[in-house]
Chain A
Amino acid sequence: MPLTRKIAYIDLSSGNIKIASIPERLRRLYLGGRGIDMYLLYKFVKPGCDPLSPDNVVTVSAGLLGGSVAPAAARCHSGAKSPLTYGVGSCNMGGFFAPELTFAGLHHLLFTGKADKPTYLWVRNGEVELRDARHIWGKDAFETQKLIREELGDEEIKIMCVGPAAENLVRYANVRTGLKNTGGRSGVGCIWGSKNLKAIAVRGTMDVTNRYPIEALNYADRWQKQMMDTKVAQALGYDGTMFIWNVTNTTGLLRYRNFQFNKLEDWENLTIERFHEEQHVGTTACFGCPVHCRHQWQIKKGPHAGLSGEGPEYNTQMCMGGMLNITNWDTILYGSHLVDKYGFDMAEFSNIAAWAFELYEKGIIDEKDTGGLRLEWSNADELLPVLLEQVAYRKGFGDLLADGPYKALERLGKPEAEYYLLHIKGLGNMISDERATPALALGIATSTRGCDHLRSRPAIDLYHLPEKVLEEVFDGGPMSSDYRSYVGKAREIWVMERIFAVIDSLGTCKFHTIFFSPHMPSWDNWSKMIYYITGMEFTPHELRDIGERIYTLERMFNHREAGRDRKDDYVPERYFAEPVPGGLPIVKGFRLKRKKFEQMLDEYYEFHGWDKNGVPTQKTLNKLGLDKEPSHML
C-alpha cells in the first residue's frame, strides 16, 4: 500500500540516515509528492538562509499514487529554496525514477547539510546508504547514469542525478533522469550541487499493493479510455507537446528574438511536420502512460549525424529555436542534447541568452562585455553550442549568464538592461507572449515559482470553448470564452492552481487534467482512484482544500523567505508598455491594461482568501490549518 511508504532523512554533513513512517495525518493535509515536500521546505529550511548554504534542504519524492495502476503515476518532485527566486524551488519530472523509489519502499527523501565530498545515495528495498561519488563528479548526466549502473551491476537501476552545471553552481542547474527527463525550473539542481549531492540510485522490488485491486484496475481502464478518447491525447501522442505550435505561432502568442516579434514569418523550417520527416525516429512514454507524448530523434546529416536522443518538446522548439532566431532542427536538437548532458534549464538559458542578444542588437552591450562574442541574431546557430558550454562551465560570458536574472543584472551594472530581461521574482519567462491572454499573464505573475506557467496554465483558455463548458469545468462563472477577456480569468487561474497542486502531490501527469481538455479526469475521478488504491477517503471538496492548502503554504514560504506580496505579482513592464506587434487581427495591437490587471489581481486574492496585499489572512490560515505551521507532525 502506498501508505506504507516511508521517508528517509539524510544528513549529508554527518552522514546519518534515519528512516521513518509518514503519518496519515500528514497525508490527509498534503497527500504526498509536492504537497509534503512543501511542508518539509517550510519546516526544515532555516528562515532567511542563503540558498547555497548548508542550511538549505533538498526534497525528493514520488507522489501518493506513485508506481500504482493509476495512469501515468510516474512523476517525481524535487524541492529546495531556489537560488534564483529565494522562494519556492520546485521541479517535477516524468520517466521511471519515482515509481522505482516507490517499489524500493520510499516516498520521500529529505537531504540536509552538505557532504564534505561528492556523494551519491543508493536506495535498495528500504535500505539507504551514502556512497562516494568522487569518481563520477564531473561526469555529464548521461555518463553518470551509465557509470552508476555499471558500478552497482544492475541494468534496472534508475538514477536521478545532476550534471556539471550543478557542480559549477549554475543557478538554473536542473535534475535529470533517463535520456531527457528533467526537473528543470527554479534551480533545484544547483542546490544538489551545493551539497555535493551527485545522484540518487534506486532499485525496488517491493509491492505497491492496491487496497481494492480489481476496482483499481477497472477504474484505471475506464480512466485510460476517457483520456484516450480526447482529441488532445491523440494530438499529443503523435506530435507531442509541439501539437500546439502551429496555432500559437499563427495567432501570435510566442516570443521571437527575445520579445520583439510574436510570430515567425519564415515558419516552414520550424514545423513539427518538418521534424517528423527528417529527425523523428520513434515514440516513447513515461511509466504507466498511454498517451506517449515523447519523440525520439536522430540527426541524419551534418556534423552531428548519428546523434540521437529523446524530445523535442514545444519548449525545445522555441527555447533552442525561435526565441534565439534559430529555425534549423539539427541545431535545435544538438542544443537540447547539450542541455540534457550538462544539466541546466534551457528555458532559463534561452530567456537570458535572448536578452543578451537583444542588448547587443541595441548597443547596450558590446564585444567587450561578451568576451569577444558577436551576439548577432544571424550568428545564433553557431553561437548556441558555444554559449551552452560557457554557461555549463562558467567560462567567459557564460559565467554571467549562469547567474540568472537578479545576479546577472547586478553584475552587468547597466540599469537600462533591466527592461529587456523578462523575469518575475527572479525566474525567467519561457516561450509564450502572454500579452493577449490575461489569464495566462495572471498565472505567470502570481505563480509561486516565479515567472512560470506550470503552477496554473489553462491551455484550454485558448480554445474558445462555450461559456457553459468553462463555467462547469471551473466551478462557476461568469467566464468568458475569449482569451483576450479579463472576465472570469482570476477564477480560472485559482482553480488550476489547486488542480495542479493536487496532481503534483498524487504524482500523476498534468496533461491528464483540464490543462488541455475539459473531458480529462477531474476531482471526482481522483477521489475514487485514491480510494481504490490507498483506501483513503477524500471528497472532491476536501481535495480542493488540499490544493488550496499546498498553494497557500507556498505563498507563505515566499513571503517569509523573500518578502513576496502584491508588489511582486506583476508581469514585466514590457507587457504593459508595448502592444502586441503582429499575429492575427484579434491579437495584433492588443495591450495588457494595468487597471484591468489590478482588478484581476484583486479578484484572484479574494478567491484565495488573501488580503489586498496578497498575504494570506489569519482567517484563511485558520481555515486551512496553516496557523499551526511549521508543525511537528514529523
Chain B
Amino acid sequence: MQKMLLVDHEKCTGCRTCETVCSAMHEGASNPVRSRIHVVKWEWDGFMMPFTCQQCQDAPCIAVCPTKALSRDAELGRVVVDYDKCIGCKFCITACPFGGIGFDSVGEKVIKCDFCDGDPVCVRFCSTQAIQFMDASEASLRKKREAAESLPMIMKKYKIY
C-alpha cells in the first residue's frame, strides 16, 4: 500500500524541528541544509510551508537520470537514489519542478526524502502533526473529514440549518 507524506501548512509553526531531526537521522548532524525537508517561510506574513520531495508517480528526476540511479519503490511509494549508480551529475535537481531533490555539499551527494525507510522521523517529532504519514489513498479522506468538521460551525453561523 503506497504511502504519502501529507503536509498541512496551517498546522506548521515553523519550528524547523523536522529539518534538525531529518539531518540528524540521515547524517548524524543537525544542519538544515542537509535536511530533506525544508520549511519555506514568508516570515513577515507569518506563512509557513513545509516542502519536500513529492515522490512523483511519473518522476522527471527518474526520466532524466543517465545511469538509472533513481527508481520508484512501489511498495512504500517513494523515489529512491541508488548511490552505487549515481554519478552526481545533478540533472535530477534541474529537472525537479519542486526542489524536491537537492545537493548536500558536506556529504557531496544528492539527497532526497526517502520516508526514513517507512518511519519518517519528521512525522515522529512534529508536535502539531503538520506532517502526517499515511496510506496515500487515505489522505483525501482525512482532509475531507477535517474540512467537514468545520462545516457545522459555518452552517450554523449562516443559518443553513
Chain A: residues with CB nearer than 8 A to chain B?
67-69, 71, 96, 103, 142, 146, 178-179, 205-210, 213, 216-217, 220-221, 224, 228, 237, 281-292, 294, 296, 308, 310
Which of B18-26, B90-98, B137-145 contacts its partner? B18-26
Chain B interface size band reads: 20 to 34
**Contact of B58 with A by CB under 8 A:** no
Q: Name B59-110 residues within 8 Å CB distance of A.
A: 105-106
Contact A287 B16 (CB under 8 A): yes
Closest partner residue, chain B, to A233 (CB atom): B127
**Contact of B31 with A by CB under 8 A:** yes
Give A290 to B46 CA distance when docked, in angstroms: 17
Contact A308 B21 (CB under 8 A): no
Provide 30 A-B residue pairs closer than 8 Å at the C-beta atoms, listed in order of the A residue: A69-B20, A69-B24, A103-B31, A103-B32, A179-B44, A205-B106, A206-B31, A206-B106, A207-B27, A207-B29, A207-B30, A207-B31, A208-B30, A209-B29, A213-B24, A213-B28, A217-B24, A217-B25, A228-B127, A281-B46, A284-B13, A284-B48, A285-B13, A285-B14, A287-B20, A288-B16, A290-B125, A290-B127, A292-B15, A294-B13
Contact A284 B14 (CB under 8 A): yes
Max chain A C-beta neighbours (<10 A), residue from B16, B44, B127: B127
Closest partner residue, chain B, to A156 (CB atom): B32
Closest partner residue, chain B, to A67 (CB atom): B30
Chain A: minimal CB distance from B18 (Å): 10
Determine the chain B residues whose CB is within 8 A of the CB of A310 once the complex forms. Answer: 46
Contact B13 A283 (CB under 8 A): yes
Give A588 to B25 CA distance when docked, in angstroms: 55
Give A96 to B13 CA distance when docked, in angstroms: 13
Give A220 to B21 CA distance when docked, in angstroms: 9
Determine the chain B residues whose CB is within 8 A of the CB of A308 once the complex forms. Answer: 45-46
**Contact of B33 with A by CB under 8 A:** yes
Partner of A217, one of B16, B105, B106, B121: B121
A179-B43, A207-B106, A310-B46 are contacts. A289–B15 as well, Cβ < 8 Å? Answer: yes
Determine the chain B residues whose CB is within 8 A of the CB of A208 once the complex forms. Answer: 29-31
Contact A69 B128 (CB under 8 A): no
Max chain A C-beta neighbours (<10 A), residue from B30, B45, B121, B124: B30
Name the 9 nearest CB pairs between A and B, nearest first.
A290-B127, A207-B29, A285-B15, A285-B13, A213-B28, A292-B13, A209-B29, A205-B33, A208-B30
Give A243 to B68 CA distance when docked, in angstroms: 56
Contact B21 A96 (CB under 8 A): no
Contact A292 B31 (CB under 8 A): no
Give A357 to B127 CA distance when docked, in angstroms: 44
Give A228 to B125 CA distance when docked, in angstroms: 11
Determine the chain B residues whose CB is within 8 A of the CB of A209 once the complex forms. Answer: 28-29
Give A283 to B15 CA distance when docked, in angstroms: 10
**Contact of B52 with A by CB under 8 A:** no
Closest partner residue, chain B, to A292 (CB atom): B13
Contact A205 B125 (CB under 8 A): no
Determine the chain B residues whose CB is within 8 A of the CB of A285 once the complex forms. Answer: 13-15
Chain A: minimal CB distance from B111 (Å): 13
